[in-house]
Structure 1
Amino acid sequence: MKKKIVSMLLTSAMVVGLAACGGASSTESGVTNGQSSGQEGSGESAQAEGSGERQTITWSVIDVNAGVNAVGDYADEIIQQIEDYCGADLDIIWYANDALSEKNSLALTSPSTMPQIMSWGGTVTGDVVSAAKNGAFVDLNNYIWDSEKYPYLSQLSKEVAANLTVNGQLIALPRTRVVGRYGLSYRQDWAQKLGVELPENATPDDVYKMLYAFTYDDPDGNGVDDTIGMEMTLYTGPFDIIQTWFGCGNGWQEVDGKLMPVWTTDEYFEAVEYIKKLYDDGLMPADFYSRPTDSWSNGCKTGENGVFIDVLDSGKRIWQYFEADETYTASVVNPDEPATMNLYGAVNGHTLATAGYNGFFTLSATTLDTEEKIEAALTLLDRLCSPEMLTLTQYGLEGINYEYDTDGYIVDLDAETEDQAAVELANNYKGLNQLLTFLPSSESSTGAIPIATNKFNEAQDAAYAAALPYAELNPALSYLVGSDTYSQVGADLDEQVTAARTQYICGSISLEEFKNTLDSIRSQGYDTIIEEVNAQR
C-alpha cells in the first residue's frame, strides 16, 4: 500500500538533523549535474530581466547522500524542468558535508574560479566573515528587497538578515529553520508505566527523576539492567539546551548591562554540575564522547534510552519509527498499542532557540561579474521557493515519484515498499532539497505543498508553538559577525570551551582545572571578543 506523506517539514527537518550532527559520512562525488543545455526556457521561465542569454550558474552544494544525488532515471528530466522554470542552466558541484569547509576555503583562495553560488553549513563565522570584508561576496541588500523581482527572497526576516550582515552588507541568504525547534522528547509509555510523566511546568529535578527511573527501574519490564535514561553522542548540543533550563541563556547572556559568554555566569556552572551528576549517576551513556553522531536516536529507537534532547522533530521521527510496520515497537503499558513519544519541549520555562537558519548561500562577487549573472542567480534562488519547485525538488515527478489522492494530497510512491526499484525512485530528486532557502520560512514554504497531516505532524506543530515563547535567542549573534577577533579565532576558542566542559563532566579534569581553562581561553582572545561585541551595541 502506498504511504501518504505525513510531515509538512519532513525533508527539511531531516536535513537539519544531519547538519546539526555533522551529517552522514560521504565522499566528495566530484560530479556535476545539469550541464548547460543551451536550450531557452519555456513560457514559465523566470529568466532575469535584461539578460540576452540564459546564464549557466555554477553551484557548490552539500552532499548528505554519499554521492547519490539526482542520479535516477528521471534525474536529467527534473534538472531540465528546474532550469526551464528558473531561467538558468545549472552546473552543480557536490561536496561531502564533512569536506565542505575545506573545499570552500580552497575556493576562496581562487576568486576567479569560485562557484557562483556557494553552500555553507552552520552560521556565519570565520573564513566567511574575513572573505566578506575582502569583498568576496555580492551585497544582497542591493537586490533582494525588490519584492516584484524576488517575491520570496524579499520576505527574509530582518532579524535573520542581521545575523548574515558584515560591515553593513548582506552577504548571504539563509536556509531558514523554525526558531522554537529545540526541546526534550521522552518515551511516553515508559513514563506512564513508572509514574514519572513530566508535569506541565517541569523542573530539572523532574527530569532527573525521570532519567533515574528510566535507568534503574526497568522501564521495559524485561528484568534486565539494559536501559540508560538519556540518549547522548559526541555531539554535545543537548548540553547547550540543558544549560538554558538554569537561566544562563543561549551562547551569550546579558549580565549587568553587558553581553557575556554564558560560560562566565554562575548559572552555567550550576547547569554543568547538573549535567555532571547525570553522567556520574549513570543516566547517560558513559561512552557518549566516542559515540558517532550518525547513530544518534538509535538508542531511543532500540529501547536503550527513553529521553532525547535536541530538535523536537527528531522525537517525532522516533515515534514514527515505533509505529512503522517494519520497526513496530509495542507499548510497555498496552502491548496491543505502539510505543509513543511525548514532544515535551521547554523545561523550567527555557529552551534553546535556533538562529532562524542552519546553513546559508553566498554569491561570488568575482564570478557573478555582471548584473545579468547576479539577477539570474537570485531569480534561480527565488523561483526555487515557489510551490512548483518545492514539490519538484522534494518529491520528484508526478506519476513517477508521487501522485495525488482523491483529496488532493501528495502520495509518495517511493515510500513503504520492499521493491528496491521503487525505493530507488527517490534517486531522481535526492539531494535537490539542498538547493532550497525555504524562504520566507520553512513552515510557509512546505505549507505551499498539499501534504496530508496526521497526529505526528500535529504533535510536532503543537510542540514548536509551545516551545517558541520559551526559546532563548543568542543576543550576540549579529555582533559576533562584526567581531574581527571572533572571525579569526572564535570558532577554535568555542571548541576549546566545549571540550573542557566534556572533560569536566566526564571527570578528566577537576573543577579548578576547568575554570583555569576557561580563564586561559579568555586570555587567548575571548576578552577581546567580549569588548568587540559590546562596542557594537
Structure 2
Amino acid sequence: MPRTPRTLAAAATLAAAALVASGCSSSDAAGGEGAALDTISIQAPFLGAQPPQQGDEVEKRLEEMTGKQIEVTWVPNSSYEDKTNVTLAGDQVPTVMVIQGKTPGFVKNAEAGAFWDLTDILSDYPNLTTENPEVQEAASVNGTVYGIYRARDVMRTSVIVRKDWLDKLGLQMPKTTEDLANVARAFTEDDPDGNGVDDTSGLIVPKWPGGINSNSPWDVMATWFGAGNGWTERDGELVPNFTTSEWLEAVDYEKSLIDNGWVNPDYATLDSASWNDPFFQGKGGIIVDVHSRAEVIRKLFKQQDPENFQNFVDSTGNLVGPDGEMHAHPTTGYSGFLVIPKSQVRTEEQLRDVLQFLDTMASKDAQILENNGIEGVNFTVVDGKAEAIDTPEAQALTESVQSWAQLGTNVAGYVAYDPKMATEYEQTEYDERRAIEAADMEYAVFDEAAPYVSETYVLKGAQLDNIVSDARLQYLAGQIDKAALQDAIERWRTSGGDQIIAEINQLDQENS
C-alpha cells in the first residue's frame, strides 16, 4: 500500500515514542553513564555500487585524527529513508545519524525529544560554526537546530548556452530575462546551425520530476521576476510565492516563450534524464539548470571533438528580472544533516565529546580525506588543486571517498582541494563558475518559511501543491486560461492552504 503523509505521520509518532523510550533503557556505548565514548557508531548512505570496506585507509586515518574508533553502517541511498525509519523505531540507534531531510519521521522524533538540541552549542566548535546562518536556520525545525547540516553549494543556478550559436548569430550571453527571450527567439528562428532547416528550439525544458517550487526552470524564472523563492513576505505576512502578482507575471513570460515556439515542443514529456541530448545534438540551445550541468555537457563535446570542444558551451549565472533587479535563485544550501540521538549520547559531557569528534571530522585534514582522498595515492596537488591519479587502485579509493563525503558537513566552509581540471580552458571555466556563484550570493533570495513545519502541510501539502503545479502546466500548454489558473490558486487556499499560511505565520511570530 502506498504511504500517504497521514500514514507516514502515524508511523513517525510510533517511531518517536519508541526512540524516546529506548533512551531510558539502552546501554551506554562506552559502558557507563556519562563516560566518554570510545567508539562512534554512524549510519550513513552510500551512492556508489559498493560501500567502503570496513577498516579502509580513509577510516584508519580518520580514527587517528579523532582518537575514536569509527563504526559506520553504510546503507544504499535508494533504501536509506526506509532504513532510517526502521532504525528510529528500534533499539540499535547509532551515536550519529545522517538524516536526509525534514521528513515527518524526523520531525516527530525531533519534537518528541529524541535528538539533542544543538541551537546554542555549535558556536563553541569552530568547524561546526556556520558561515551561512540563513542555511542553518532553513535546516532547523521551527527555529530549533537538531542537526549539523551537510553544506552544499548555495548558489548553483546557471544559464547554459550554445556558444557556437551565439557566435554565428553575433549575439552576447544573456544578462536579463528580456535577453533570454531574444536569444531563445534567435536560436529558434534565425537558423543558428546554418543547415537551412527550421529544426531548432531556443530553450530546452524537460518534464520536471518535482512539483511547484522544486527548482524547475519555471521556478527559477519566478524568482528572477521577484516572486520570491517558495515563500516570501508580503505586507508583513509570509505567503506562498504563487499567490503574488510577480509569480503570475513570470508564468505569462514562460507561456509567451512556449506560445512563440521558442521552447522545445516536447517540454511536457522530455525525460529529465535526457535533458542534455537536444543541446548536444544541436536541437536546442539554452538550458536553465545548475553550473555542473555545463561541465557535463562540455565533457560530451570533448569526447566527440577533443580539438574544438571549447567552442560549444558557455554559461552564466542568474539573470536580472524585468524590474531591473537581480533576484538570485539559491538552493536550500544543505543536503540533510547529522543528528545525535539522546538514547546513545546520554549527557552533555558525552554530547560535547561527540561534537568535538564531529568538529575534527570537519577540519581541513579530515575534509581532504573525505573529499579528495589520500595525497600520493589517488591524487596529487598541482597549483593548489587536486589532480586525480589515473590507476585502478586510485579509482577504487576515489569511489570509497565519494561515500565518506556523505559524512562531511563543511558548514564553516569548504577547505579541501578544488579539482584540477584537465585543460587550461576547463580550469578557466571552473574558476569563472565559482566567481559567478560568489557574485550571485549577494542577491540570494532564500525561502523565508524554510525553517517552519506546518502540521497541515505535513498531512496534505503535497496534494495541495499539485493543484497549483498541474494548473501552471495546463496554463502554459494553453489548456486553461488565466482565470482558471487563478481559480486553482484559490482552490489551494480554500482546501487547506489558508490554514497552512496561518500556521507558518504563527511559527514565524513565535520564532521572531
- After TM superposition, the score normalised by the length of structure 2 is 0.79
Taking the TM superposition and a 5 Å limit, the aligned residue runs for 1:67-78 are 67-70=49-52, 76-78=56-58
C-alpha distance after superposition, 1:515-537 (max 9, x if no partner): 33322222232211211222333
Report the more deviating stretch, 505-514 or 342-351: 505-514
1:249 CA drift (Å): 1.3
* Corresponding position of 1:109: 89
Of the candidates 84, 88, 92, which is equivalent to residue 68 of structure 2? 88
Q: Does 1:359 align with 2:336?
A: yes
Question: C-alpha root-mean-square deviation of aligned residues, in Å?
Answer: 3.2
* Corresponding position of 1:432: 404
Rounded to whole Å, the distance in 2 between the matches of 1:120 and 1:505 is 36
Output the amino acid matched with 1:143: I
Rounded to whole Å, the distance in 1 between the matches of 2:52 and 2:37 is 26
Of the candidates 178, 191, 210, which is equivalent to residue 166 of structure 2? 191
* Corresponding position of 2:370: 393
- Are residues 157 and 426 of structure 1, via their aligned partners in 2, closer, same or farther at CA, if it must alter by over 3 Å? closer
* Corresponding position of 1:64: 47
- Are residues 375 and 77 of structure 1, via their aligned partners in 2, closer, same or farther at CA, if it must alter by over 3 Å? same
1:214 CA drift (Å): 1.9
* Corresponding position of 2:250: 271
1:390 CA drift (Å): 1.6
C-alpha distance after superposition, 1:344-395 (max 9, x if no partner): 4323222312333233222222233344653454233322222212211222
What SS does structure 1 have at the residue aligned with 2:119? Answer: helix
1:240 CA drift (Å): 0.9
C-alpha distance after superposition, 1:313-344 (max 9, x if no partner): 4334434554x35663847xxxxx63231324
The answer to whether the Cα contact below 8 Å between 2:362 and 2:408 also exists between their aligned partners in 1 is yes
- Are residues 424 and 346 of structure 1, via their aligned partners in 2, closer, same or farther at CA, if it must alter by over 3 Å? same
Q: Does 1:55 align with 2:39?
A: yes
The answer to whether the Cα contact below 8 Å between 1:187 and 1:340 also exists between their aligned partners in 2 is yes
Output the amino acid matched with 1:239: W
C-alpha distance after superposition, 1:219-271 (max 9, x if no partner): 23344554332232233621111112222111122222322111111221121
Rounded to whole Å, the distance in 1 between the matches of 2:467 and 2:105 is 18
The answer to whether the Cα contact below 8 Å between 2:377 and 2:394 also exists between their aligned partners in 1 is no
- Are residues 495 and 53 of structure 1, via their aligned partners in 2, closer, same or farther at CA, if it must alter by over 3 Å? same
What SS does structure 2 have at the residue aligned with 1:169? Answer: coil
1:312 CA drift (Å): 2.8
Corresponding pairs, count = 462
Rounded to whole Å, the distance in 1 between the matches of 2:445 and 2:239 is 15
Of the candidates 461, 475, 479, which is equivalent to residue 448 of structure 2? 475
- After TM superposition, the score normalised by the length of structure 1 is 0.76
Q: Does 1:410 align with 2:386?
A: yes
Report the more deviating stretch, 388-397 or 229-238: 229-238
What percentage of aligned pairs have identical amino acids? 32
Of the candidates 308, 314, 331, which is equivalent to residue 287 of structure 2? 308
Q: Does 1:457 align with 2:465?
A: no
Taking the TM superposition and a 5 Å limit, the aligned residue runs for 1:265-304 are 265-304=244-283
* Corresponding position of 1:144: 122
* Corresponding position of 1:383: 360
1:121 CA drift (Å): 3.6
* Corresponding position of 1:176: 151
- Are residues 502 and 361 of structure 1, via their aligned partners in 2, closer, same or farther at CA, if it must alter by over 3 Å? farther
Report the more deviating stretch, 272-281 or 101-110: 101-110
The answer to whether the Cα contact below 8 Å between 1:214 and 1:228 also exists between their aligned partners in 2 is yes
* Corresponding position of 1:40: none
Q: Does 1:521 align with 2:492?
A: yes
- Are residues 508 and 91 of structure 1, via their aligned partners in 2, closer, same or farther at CA, if it must alter by over 3 Å? farther
1:175 CA drift (Å): 1.7
The answer to whether the Cα contact below 8 Å between 1:242 and 1:351 also exists between their aligned partners in 2 is no
Which runs of 5 or more structure 1 residues have no equivalent in the other structure?
1-49, 332-336
Output the amino acid matched with 1:517: A
Output the amino acid matched with 2:168: K
Rounded to whole Å, the distance in 1 between the matches of 2:194 and 2:398 is 39
1:139 CA drift (Å): 0.7
Rounded to whole Å, the distance in 1 between the matches of 2:284 and 2:314 is 12
The answer to whether the Cα contact below 8 Å between 2:165 and 2:187 also exists between their aligned partners in 1 is yes
Rounded to whole Å, the distance in 2 between the matches of 1:495 and 1:365 is 37
Rounded to whole Å, the distance in 1 between the matches of 2:353 and 2:272 is 38
Rounded to whole Å, the distance in 2 between the matches of 1:156 and 1:309 is 27
- Are residues 121 and 288 of structure 1, via their aligned partners in 2, closer, same or farther at CA, if it must alter by over 3 Å? farther
Output the amino acid matched with 1:431: S
Rounded to whole Å, the distance in 1 between the matches of 2:74 and 2:468 is 32
The answer to whether the Cα contact below 8 Å between 1:500 and 1:514 also exists between their aligned partners in 2 is yes
What SS does structure 2 have at the residue aligned with 1:244? Answer: helix
* Corresponding position of 1:497: 468
Of the candidates 310, 315, 318, which is equivalent to residue 345 of structure 1? 318
The answer to whether the Cα contact below 8 Å between 2:379 and 2:387 also exists between their aligned partners in 1 is yes
Output the amino acid matched with 2:387: V
- Are residues 196 and 408 of structure 1, via their aligned partners in 2, closer, same or farther at CA, if it must alter by over 3 Å? closer
